[in-house]
Homo-oligomer: A and B are copies of this chain.
Amino acid sequence: MRVKPLGDRVVIKRLEAEEKTKSGIVLTGTAKERPQEAEVLAVGPGTIIDGVRVELEVKVGDKVLFSKYAGTEVKLDGEEYIILKQEDILAVVE
């Protein structure tokens, strides 16, 4: 991928409705807090804590649940991506 996120940021691509149906996940809750499913396309190098680099928990290819309004949308080569901090990712879906 051509976009390399900094620090503890991650680049994800939102999964479409068909894929959601296939995985059987339906997300509920208020619209404002409703999480969404996405695939991780790139991860930052992590952050330095106490002199040691702490790598991110998610990795490229992970399917994740994230807070809908977190992060910043970017369109690259006609595709839409989201750059967000790992702390805005709730869980990995297997």
Contact = CB atoms under 8 A, between A and B. Distances in A.
B86 A3 contact: no
Contacts of A29: 72-74
B80 A4 contact: no
Nearest to A54: B48
Contact of A6 (B4, B27, B58): B58
A51 B49 contact: yes
A42 B28 CA distance: 19
Highest count of chain B CB atoms <10 Å: which of A6, A24, A26, A73: A6
Interface in A44-87: 45, 48-52, 54, 57-58, 65, 67, 72-78, 80, 83, 86-87
A5 B90 contact: yes
